[in-house]
Structure 1
Amino acid sequence: MTAALETVLAYYEAWTSQNFDKAMHYIADDIVCQSPAGPIHGAAAFRAFMEPFSQKVTTSTLLSSFGDDTTALLMYDTVTTPVPHAPGAELHTVADGRITHLHLIFDRLPFAKARGEI
């Protein structure tokens, strides 16, 4: 297993098991996250964005993963309390065992429908 993939899989396991304190161990202080809602800068902003979602996850199935020494890509399907299938993909850049950049892709429409916005 490559260094980046090892880090990213440990991060994934932590946030999908609702242990966000452990997940944050793998996040760089100056992380940049490209999300469907726009860019997120810094660990505190990233936590404020991602932790509430992680608390809604009941199960997650890792569909695929691969990586090299500096990048890793995951694709997964989560089951959440508001939405029964919420697939996502994440492209990570890793340096010194921390995720410095995360490009997150997921469909926001099912969540908007669940909140009654559509």
Structure 2
Amino acid sequence: MRTPTETMTAYFEGWQRHDAESLRDVLADDVVFDGPMGHVEGVDDNVKSLHGLLSIVTDVTIRQVFADGPDVCTIYDLHTTETDAPMLTVNWAHVVEGRARTIRAIFDPRPLVG
């Protein structure tokens, strides 16, 4: 079984490959995502949402990963086709039995909606 850090590494590797379907392997069936742009529940709806997001993502540059037991905090630059500069983003995930159960994204959404 993957450690929480390995789980979230696999999650972001899927982002970098633009492979939303591969994320089913690291998301719990009842995963809940919360962020400035919305709330999504369940693996199917999360994968569907990630398909949309990954269509505008050009790169993910991981700056730092911190782990404390089942919680993993990933700080990264999110590069998109919709923004001139990368968006500094923090992703806080709670991982249970090798799958992310909750994910919270924290970033300033103004470049995307403004």
Distance 2:69 2:3 in 1: 5
In structure 2, how many angstroms separate the alpha carbons of the residues matched to 1:43 and 1:22? Answer: 11
Compute the displacement of 1:18 (Å).
Answer: 0.2
Name stretches of at least 5 consecutive residues in structure 1 with no aligned partner: 114-118
Could you tell me whether the CA contact under 8 Å between 1:3 and 1:69 is conserved in 2? Answer: no
Distance 1:25 1:41 in 2: 16
Unpaired segments ≥5 residues, structure 2: none
What does the per-residue CA deviation read over 1:65-109, in whole Å, with 9 as the maximum and x for residues that have no partner?
A: 011331100010021111131221110000111000111112211
Which stretch shows the higher mean deviation, 43-52 or 94-103?
A: 43-52
Q: Please show how residues 1-118 of structure 1 align to structure 2 within 5 Å.
A: 3-84=3-84, 85-113=86-114
Whether the aligned pair in 2 keeps the contact of 1:5 and 1:68 (CA below 8 Å) is: no
Task: Give the root-mean-square deviation of aligned CA atoms.
Answer: 1.6
Question: In structure 1, what is the Cα distance between the partners aligned to 2:35 and 2:24?
Answer: 17
Runs of 4+ in 1 over 6 A off after TM superposition: none
Give the CA deviation at 1:10: 1.0
Q: How many residues align?
A: 112
Q: Percent identity?
A: 26
